Chain A
Amino acid sequence: MNFDFDLIVRSFPLLLVGAGVTVQITAFSVSLGLLIGMFVGIARLSNTWIIKALAAVYVDFIRGTPLLVQIFLIYFALPIIVGQRIDPFIAAITACSINSGAYVAEIFRGGIQSIDKGQMEAGRSLGMTWGQTMRHIILPQAFKRIIPPLGNEFIAMMKDSSLVSVIGFEELTRRGQLIIARTYGSFEIWLSVAFIYLIMTFTISRLVDYLERRYKIDDKH
């Protein structure tokens, strides 16, 4: 086997463009997922059974089905219902955000439940509503505790976003496939793709470590 290093060098700029798209889709999905997850996580702790039940159904459905199938559902099945083709970028972000939201919801729920019950009681006894206490007292404390699992979710999302290559969306993995189709350089290109993913996930994990340490030092502030 001869290893074509030159192929890697030539392909790298194209792969980097794909990596940029991967970062984009991950950033969008994680941000939206964070928003969805926060509300669903809170909803799972609601006293109103219907809200609680809806949140549970959402989380169970998403966690109980493969992301790949969810992507197919949104890209191929949804257009049949709405009668309109969905842009791959929109479909990719929608599927990934909805997916991420379910996992983030569980992280939020755990974080909120880990805060001492006395905090809610103190807030309520001062006349603050449930919502005000959640916003000013519970969530800021919970958020600090869930930074590490959120970081893991961020990294998992970045890797899972490779699945949207199946709907032809040109992120890093899809770019790799396309280059291989032209050059037959499977080994070189998949190695490069893996390396680029590794660099990106490693960077995020260092960033999360840094955030975690920073909040540890002034733990309570």
Chain B
Amino acid sequence: MINIKNVHKHFGKLHVLKGINAHIAEKEVVVIIGPSGSGKSTLLRCINYLEEPTEGEIIVDGIPLTNEANINKVREEVGMVFQRFNLFPHKSVLENIILAPMTVRKTPKSEAVKIAQDLLVKVGLADKEHAYPEQLSGGQQQRVAIARALAMKPKIMLFDEPTSALDPEMVKEVLDVMKSLAHEGMTMAIVTHEMGFAREVGDRVLFMDEGRLVEEGTPEEIFSHAKEERTKSFLSKIL
């Protein structure tokens, strides 16, 4: 579903990604872990071209990310959830969710509203459709953000540290929504520091450090039988 071939990314002199090769299969849940600055968020942002790789190739659902038209097409199929939610503050919850389906997919309003309401039920916020983002807690905002991404009926969902900006008591409500998505067979790539979640929900775990993919394997392989010293030392500090 997603093919990442020899991807490099430079920010000026900073070499953030140093030749990443990775593959994500359909319906697979891949969790990317690693220390801050290891390039995991950058890699995720390359998948929908919010960051343009300096070198290498990314193919999503058979479409190579080469030109603007292709990039927009891929973005329609790839939902993204951000650390800081990035809801549209001047629009209500409902308007946040129906905007993209109406402008991009040309979905009629009545239908878009119906889809949005169903999604709000799914993320447990059916009573919040007329609220504005600032009136919601962080956890609620992030669930709206997930609903907003799902409204485009994406084939793939990317999560960039979705719980890092949340108060601890709100982490679970967001992870629960992500868990149910995983159970429904959504293809997901998740950057997170929630190791319990990675172990429970991930099909595969990628460990990154200093711009390289150091090790990958099942959660069991990574968390209990890591082969690489760097993986072991990282996990020993956080588990």
Contacts from A to B (Cβ < 8 Å): 116, 118-119, 121-129, 132, 136-137, 140-141, 144, 219-221
Question: How many contacts between A and B, using CB within 8 angstroms?
Answer: 64
Give CA–CA (A128, B76) in the complex, Å: 8
A136 and B88 CA atoms in complex are apart in Å by 10
Complex Cα–Cα for A169 and B108 (A): 52
Q: Write the residues of chain B forming the contact surface with A, with a CB cutoff of 8 angstroms.
A: 48, 50, 72-73, 75-76, 78-80, 82, 84, 86-90, 99-100, 103-105, 132-134, 148-149, 152
Q: Kindly identify which residue among A119, A127, A140 contacts B86, using a CB–CB cutoff of 8 Å.
A: A119
Interface pair A126/B90, CB less than 8 Å apart = no
Q: Are B75 and A124 in contact (CB under 8 A)?
A: yes
Q: How far is the CA of A119 from the CA of B78 in the complex (A)?
A: 17
Give 19 A-B contacts (CB < 8 Å), ordered by A residue: A118-B82, A119-B86, A121-B82, A122-B86, A123-B88, A123-B100, A126-B75, A126-B79, A126-B152, A127-B73, A127-B104, A127-B105, A128-B103, A128-B104, A132-B103, A132-B104, A141-B90, A144-B90, A220-B133
Query: How many Å lie between the Cα of A122 and that of B82 in the bound state?
Result: 8
**Secondary structure at chain A's binding surface: helix, strand, loop or mixed?**
helix
* A221 lies within 8 A of B72 (CB): no
A125 x B50 contact (CB < 8 A): yes
Contact A125 B90 (CB under 8 A): no
Residues from chain A with a CB closer than 8 A to the CB of B73 are 127
Q: List residues of chain A with CB within 8 A of the CB of B133.
A: 220
Q: Considering the complex of A and B, which 4 residue pairs feature the smallest CB-CB distances, nearest first?
A: A127-B76, A126-B100, A122-B86, A118-B86
Within the assembled complex, what's the spacing in Å between the Cα atoms of A5 and B64?
81
Tell me the nearest residue of chain A to B74, going by C-beta: A127
B-chain residues with CB within 8 Å of residue A128 when the two chains form the complex? 99-100, 103-104
CA distance A1 to B33 in the complex (A): 87
Structural contact, A220 and B75, CB atoms closer than 8 A: no
Q: A127-B73, A140-B90 are in contact. List 18 more A-B contacts (CB 8 A).
A: A116-B86, A118-B82, A118-B86, A119-B86, A119-B88, A125-B80, A126-B99, A126-B149, A127-B72, A127-B75, A127-B105, A128-B100, A128-B103, A132-B103, A137-B88, A141-B90, A220-B90, A220-B134
Q: For B89, list chain A residues within 8 Å (CB).
A: 141, 220
Set of chain A residues within 8 Å of B76, measured between Cβ atoms: 127
Residue of B nearest to A137 (CB): B88
Question: What residues of A have a CB within 8 angstroms of the CB of B152 in the complex?
Answer: 126-127
Instruction: Quote the shortest CB–CB distance from A112 to chain B (angstroms).
Output: 14
What A residues does B103 contact at CB under 8 A? Answer: 128, 132, 136
